[in-house]
Amino acid sequence: MTVLAIGANGQVGGEVARLLAQRGICVRALVRDSAKAKPLAALGIEIVEADLAEPSTLARAFSGVDRVFLSSALDPSQVELQANAVEAARNAGVRHVVKLSGLGTALDSEVASGRWHAQTEERIEASGMGWTHLRPYFFLQNLLQMAPLVANADVLPNSIGGAAIAGVDARDLAACAVGALASDDHFGLAYDVTGPEAFTYGEIAEVLSKRLGRAIRTLELKPEIARARMIEDGMPEWHADVLEEFAACFTRGGGAPVTDAVLQLTGNAPRSVGEFIDEHASAFGAAG
Ligand SMILES: NC(=O)c1ccc[n+]([C@@H]2O[C@H](COP(=O)([O-])OP(=O)(O)OC[C@H]3O[C@@H](n4cnc5c(N)ncnc54)[C@H](OP(=O)(O)O)[C@@H]3O)[C@@H](O)[C@H]2O)c1
């Protein structure tokens, strides 16, 4: 069996490729820039350069592939890029696609990226190929974007108030993808993929305070202020809009339901937010 890992220079796709190789499953990594894929090549993983925006580059990448992990960046062009991947997979006779979707995946979602993911899921389901959809709400790794503020100002900003999020470590999500790719047991199933608990930013601040030995406080930003700041910092408007929609969805409780998808797909318990913070304590400014 050969698996094609798309987005393999990215966070989840790279981990999927590494874990597949670790399990001795033949994996080919699709990347746009093979120079960035040297760490994967060093593990003996086959690297193929291709661009989802250039359908003519895809036939070679998909040739001889049985299963595909499908992920690309959060981007308004995602539907078109992933449609090209689905078409190439179908033409190559692929029998199973594991698709990374996300928060609020539905054709009528109030979250734009949820509509994008749902359109791709619909296309995969209509293709006749086997499918499994993974729908995490939030990666624990997102907390690292706030680590400099925690480290330098003891502040954890957010704009979701007391709402809870059942975030998952991106490495556990990747392990779920590998679990799905390695068997036929998950055909036709969609999983909301979460960590072991839902946490509020107040609870994360408490965990950080205990671990770091100093008081970390949350800083509640009104969504429109958070959006204006992100745009001031150079974020494209579409991206700030999507993040504002995520915040609204989390505030309504859309990211709170905890599932046992990681256990079902991998046989292992997911990492907790406490474990994640312990592991990355130095990024949050732990002494020593
Ligand atoms: N962050 C979260 O909390 C969260 C939660 C739920 C779902 N998600 C979903 O997770 C996905 C992103 O996962 P991630 O964190 O692994 O993203 P990432 O680290 O940004 O990786 C995305 C990869 O996609 C590749 N890519 C982009 N355009 C491409 C193209 N035209 N052809 C081939 N490859 C292309 C990128 O290649 P380059 O390296 O060349 O740029 C990159 O390696 C998004 O779909 C998002 O909706 C994220």
Tens digits of per-residue pLDDT, 39-95? 999 999 999 999 999 999 999 999 999 999 999 999 999 999 999 999 999 999 999
Q: Which has the closest alpha carbon to 179: 65, 262, 86?
A: 262
pLDDT (tens digit, 9 = 90+) per residue, 204-248? 999 999 999 999 999 999 988 999 999 999 999 999 999 999 999
Return the pLDDT at 288.
Answer: 74
Q: Is the pLDDT of residue 187 over 80?
A: yes
> How many angstroms separate the alpha carbon of residue 6 from the centre of ligand 1?
9
Q: What is the mean pLDDT of the chain?
A: 97
Q: Do the domain assignments include residue 42?
A: yes
Task: Tell me the angle at which helices 112-126 and 78-91 cross, rounded to the nearest 10 degrees.
Answer: 10
Report the relative pairing of strands 130-136 and 155-158 from DSSP bridges: unpaired
Whether 53 is covered by a domain: the verdict is: yes
Ligand 1 pocket: which residues have CB below 6 Å?
A: 7, 9-13, 32-33, 51-53, 71-74, 81, 100, 102-103, 113, 136, 138-139, 142
Q: Is residue 164 part of a domain?
A: no
Give a yes or no: residue 235 inside a domain: no
* Helix 237-251 with 112-126: angle, nearest 10 deg: 90
Query: What number is the average pLDDT over the span 29-42?
Result: 98
Residue in 9, 58, 143, 176 to alter for ligand 1 test, most ligand atoms within 8 A of Cβ: 9
Q: Is residue 58 part of a domain?
A: yes
Within a domain: residue 65? yes
Shortest-distance Cα residue to atom 4 of ligand 1: 138
Q: In the structure, what pLDDT confidence band is assigned to residue 190 with cuts at 50, 70 and 90?
A: very high
Range of the domain at 105: 2-137+169-193+258-267
**Is residue 239 situated within a structural domain?**
no
Virtual torsion, Cα 24, 29, 33, 35, nearest 10 deg: 10
Contact 96, 126 (CB under 8 A): no
| Residues near 186 by beta carbon (within 8 Å), at least 6 away in sequence | 132, 179, 180, 265
Residues of the chain above pLDDT 70, percent: 100
Q: Say which CATH number the domain at 121 has.
A: 3.40.50.720
Query: Alpha-carbon distance 29 to 155, whole Å?
Result: 39
Nearest-CA residue for atom 26 of ligand 1: 72
Tens digits of residue pLDDT in 263-277: 999 999 999 999 999
Residue 221 maps to a domain: no
Task: Report pLDDT for 9.
Answer: 98
Q: What is the count of structural domains for the chain? A: 1
Q: pLDDT at residue 119 above 90? A: yes
